Structure 1
Amino acid sequence: MRPPVAQPLSDPLLIERMADGGQGVAHIDGKLCFVDGALTGETVRAALVRRHSTYDEATVTDVLNASPQRVSPPCPAYTRCGGCVSQHQEHAAQVQDKQAQLAEKLARISGVQPATWLEPIVGPAWHYRRRARLGVRQVSRLGSVLVGFRERRSSFLTDMHDCAVLDARLSALIDPLRALIGGLSVAAQVPQLEVTATDNEVLLVMRHLVPLTDADRAALAAFGAAHGVRWFLQAAGPDSVHPLPPGGDRLPTYRLDAFDLELEFGPLDFTQVNFAINQQLVPLAVDLLAPVAGERVADLFCGVGNFSLALARRGARALGLEGEAALVARARGNARRAGLADRCTFEQANLYDDVPAAQTRIGRCDAWLLDPPRSGAQALCAALPRPAPARIVYVSCNPATLARDAGLLAGQGYRLARAGIVDMFPHTAHVESIALFERT
């Protein structure tokens, strides 16, 4: 899909507010228009890039009256790359807008507001992203391979040479990876790379659609030695991932310093991409839940044990439920290594389509911790067991589904005691948040 051709608008636009996706909102003859690169209160010239029946999309071509929040984006690819949408706005203002977005969703969708707003959790605004999936594409007309994120409104990849939000070690590898993959026999059959930077190493998972030659493997091994990275190869589904060369299959780890924990995860396992924010998020979640020693706490969508092990370290008896068998096994291993196997139980459960069975496994718990995907935890929140947990901490990556589920919990006698945003993805439209519900 080629990016759309912009059509300049004859009249300037007044930006009324910010939309959820990080665009400015204006009206053209009464019709809603979302404007990339604009900020509230600005007067801009813009070009129309796409029409829809109920709204249009445009992009800024000139700023006539700039907002005091406007800054110069440091990334030379910013106007083309779809990885970020808010580099032209001060970071502190981005955080304020995300908190306002959460408040608006809670009020409009569920009609609830927290009794207390938490201070936003913030961390480094640049080079914060430790994990990412980068697209790879051989482009004949350029005579090179592209490695990076997709362009805005396009399936094309951005012609980029570094990235201001990726960990600096990952950013520095973009050009060397372009050159490396361009020299492989399978260059046209490499669609993506999964990249990870831990505290002490860098891992790269290369998806390849056809078998590698011996020369390809030798080139990858030489690159790994020269750049200090470890390669994993993926020829098919996630189960096909294996290290190159054989024998280098030790798993990467991340730390939770507040609990003296080190957790292993697989190259494709879900973990938070912003390790610095996760170091703050987990202690906050545990403090909000405030488990008393011996209390039984359910960690639902537990992954590799990110919250479960911290809760157990605090003295709780943690039950972690997760839909993926590989993650359950990983969580059990992490508990054993931390000496917490006697306080943690991990089981596989379908938390979407078979809630009655999941509720049977959960049983009676004093508190819950929910950390679901973007679709939220609607089925669980709509069918709480009796007696219901006294406290629920909900970590969300989608304000709309959090607000929906907050309404379900309010209807079952819970009050929203505290809520706030977690700035997991600066300069993007992604809004992470955390909320504490207490049974009244």
Structure 2
Amino acid sequence: MPPSCNWCAIPWRPRRGLTGRPSWRPGRLPDRSMADPDFLVLDIESLDPEGQGIAHHQGKVVFVEGALAGETVRVRIVRRKPTFDKARVDAILRPSSQRVQPPCPYFGVCGGCSLQHLDTAAQVAVKQRTLEDALAHIGKVRALQVLPAIQGPSVGYRHRARLSVRLVVKKGGVLVGFHEKASSYVADMQHCLILPPHVSALLAPLRGLIGGLSRPDRMPQIEVAVGDRATVLCLRHLEALTDDDLNQLRAFGARHGVDWWLQPRGPDTAHPLDPARADVLAYALPAWGLRLPFRPTDFTQVNPFINQVLVARALALLQAQPHHRVMDLFCGLGNFSLPLAIEAQSVLGVEGSATLVARAHAAAARHGLGDKARFGVQNLFEVDAAWFRAQGRFDRLLIDPPREGALAVARALSELPAEERPRRMVYVSCNPATLARDAGILHHVGGWVLRAAGVINMFPHTAHVESMAVLEMP
């Protein structure tokens, strides 16, 4: 944390070296007229959902990149709009007690993280505030109880990632990493704090590998997927690979203990370089004795440590009993469905992707749950009350939608007669705005009570908010 300068009028200013790492030290104020309209001194009131500081000046909102709530900062206006301005910190005149030294040398340049300058406990508090504000302002509803935040490791947690690849002659060759902040450029990075250490250590060798292939300018990205027993790198290539390219990939994989997949076109074209290793990728839910195979292009949670706690919390809150029928909407690979099948009488998992449903079916059969867990394909953005009636009555409901939320589901459930509604539901969300919208419909139209809600810190050091809510019929 930068020290507070109570003894003099010299501000503490972020200064960046070649890596972009900010260091907090006193510096002289530049000879700049404070009458310059592009420079303002502002008091930061709060943080927005993107992690930017919020201030007001002459009736306009100013969003300040790099500022924290409670700070007094001098900023430079970088963009003016009719109703708001965008600014960046030029100097911190009074730092927040929650400001810390960012642990990553690329913070401020790489766009992968936006909150490393904020204490991790404070990050969680900011996300909880974001959730509560969304529920109050969008859904016009308030949770009766705040759930304890689900937290886990703040480094090395990201087991799924998309690395950009660019041939940049001016930088001396190929860059592999995340995009720079608010840019299409790739950050010049040698390692990454949030990737598992063994994956972070591959960034520099990958630069050399891709640079030595036949068309490094036609290989835009590498998908990273880390399972419990294997790590897969899926190379997107826009031109056919040569035999020498394939040999180099095989040698790299053997040397670094990774499996290569190749993706010449869309996600459905992804395939293993070594067909015998097609099924090595999986993640475990050890509390239920489950192991779920997946492909590197399938959706899975990026943070396996949090996911295990998330599943346990969801099942505990759902309170499914051995005689209950449960429906799991947006079920994916069966992340919640299969543990629920162990605890409840039966589970119906519904998902829009036939590919994921097929994998869920196979996993259920492999674990001897085929008679308790059924799966179906359905576009859940178009369901209505008649569709729910056709599925029969369910005692419990779990919803885990994408960022778009579950608007059609919320409306359809609210139209069902009271006796046909599930008595209790758990809603897992990756977007507090759509959760708030749907919870508002379920509460104000459907009559469910929002019993509890809380955040899940799935993505530490970012402003991304995941959350969970419990709704119950009174």
TM-score category of the 2 structures, normalised to the smaller one: over 0.9
Q: 1:122 aligned to 2:155? A: no
**Shift of residue 11, structure 1, vs aligned partner:** 2.9
The equivalent residue for 1:438 is: 472
Cα distance between partner residues in 1 of 2:134 and 2:296: 34
The worse-fitting range, judged by mean Cα deviation, of 312-321 and 229-238 is 312-321
Shift of 1:181: 0.5
**TM-score (ref. length: structure 1):** 0.96
Corresponding residue of 1:395: 428
Aligned to 1:247, the other structure's residue is in SS state helix
- For these two proteins, the number of residue pairs brought into alignment is 434
Write the mapping of 1:344-383 to structure 2, written as runs, cut at 5 A: 344-355=373-384, 358-360=387-389, 362-383=391-412
SS in 2 for 1:141: helix
- Hey, what does 2:355 align to over in structure 1? 326
Deviation at 1:152, TM superposition (A): 1.4
**2:171 is aligned with what amino acid?**
L
Aligned position for 2:182: 153
- 1:159 aligns to what SS in structure 2? coil
User: How many percent identity over aligned positions?
Assistant: 52
Q: CA contact under 8 A between 1:132 and 1:196: conserved in structure 2? A: yes
After superposition, residues 409-428 of structure 1 pair within 5 angstroms as 409-410=442-443, 411-428=445-462
| Deviation (angstroms), 1:166 | 1.3
Following TM superposition, by how much is the alpha carbon of 1:8 offset from its aligned partner in structure 2, in angstroms?
9.2
Between the aligned partners of 1:370 and 1:330, the Cα distance in structure 2 is 19
Instruction: For residue 265 of structure 1, report the CA deviation from its aligned partner.
Output: 1.1
> Matches of 2:76 and 2:202 in 1, distance apart?
35
Tell which structure's C-alpha radius of gyration is larger: 2
Which moved further from structure 2: 83-92 or 197-206?
A: 197-206
Note if 1:276 corresponds to 2:326: no
Unaligned runs of 5+ in 1: 1-6
- In the TM superposition, residue 212 of structure 1 has moved relative to its aligned partner by 0.3
Deviation readout 1:314-340 (Å, 9 max, x if unpaired): 133000000001000000011011111
- 1:251 deviates by 4.0
Is the Cα–Cα contact under 8 Å of residues 378 and 405 in structure 1 kept in the other structure? yes
Structure 2 counterpart of 1:407, from 440, 465, 469 = 440
CA distance in 2 between counterparts of 1:358 and 1:200 reads 40
Structure 2 counterpart of 1:19, one-letter code: D
1:392 aligned partner, one-letter code = M
C-alpha distance in 2 between matches for 1:394 and 1:106: 13
Q: Structure 1: how far apart are the matches of 2:76 and 2:471?
A: 45
Greater alpha carbon shift after TM alignment, 236-245 vs 354-363? 354-363
* Partner secondary structure for residue 284 of structure 2: strand
| Aligned counterpart, 1:166 | 195
| Match in the other structure for 1:97 | 126
Contact 2:279–2:293 under 8 Å retained in 1: no
Assess if the C-alpha contact under 8 Å between 1:209 and 1:235 holds in 2: yes
Q: Distance in 1 between matches of 2:131 and 2:336?
A: 23
SS at match of 1:436: strand
1:80 partner SS: coil
CA contact (8 A) 1:123 1:423 kept: yes
2:246 maps to 217
The question of 1:291 aligning with 2:320 is answered yes
Return the offset for 1:258. Answer: 1.7
Instruction: Say whether residues 1:36 and 2:65 are aligned partners.
Output: yes
Question: What residue is the counterpart of 2:24 in the other structure?
Answer: none
Using the alignment, how far apart are the partners of 1:358 and 1:231 within structure 2? 42
Query: Deviations 1:183-214 (Å, cap 9, x if unpaired)?
Result: 11120001111001223221100000010001
TM-superposed CA distance for 1:361, in Å, is: 5.1
Q: Structure 2 matches for 1:138-217, cutoff 5 A?
A: 138-217=167-246
Q: Which amino acid aligns with 1:31?
A: K
- Aligned counterpart, 2:9: none
Letter in structure 2 aligned against 1:380: V
- Which of 248-257 and 75-84 deviates more? 248-257
3-state SS of paired residue (1:403): helix
Compute the displacement of 1:403 (Å).
Answer: 0.5
- Provide the secondary structure at the position in 2 that maps to 1:58: strand
CA contact (8 A) 2:145 2:451 kept: yes
User: Would the aligned equivalents of 1:350 and 1:358 in 2 still touch at CA under 8 Å?
Assistant: no
The aligned runs of 1:45-84 (5 Å cut-off) are 45-84=74-113
Q: Aligned in 2, Cα 1:16/1:308: closer, same or farther, shift over 3 Å? A: same
Partner Cα distance (1:111, 1:365) in 2: 27
String of CA shifts for 1:5-24, please: whole Å, max 9, x gaps: xx994332211111111011
Distance (Å, rounded) in 2 between the aligned partners of 1:49 and 1:154: 15
The amino acid that maps onto 1:376 is G
Query: C-alpha distance in 2, partners of 1:11/1:348?
Result: 55
Consecutive unaligned residues in structure 2, runs of 5 or more: 1-35
CA RMSD between the two structures: 1.5
Q: Distance in 2 between matches of 1:316 and 1:175?
A: 51
> Could you say what secondary structure the match of 1:11 adopts?
strand
The residue type equivalent to 2:431 in the other structure is N
CA-to-aligned-CA distance 1:15-71 (integer Å, 9 cap, x gap): 111111101111233321111111111111222333323212222232111101000
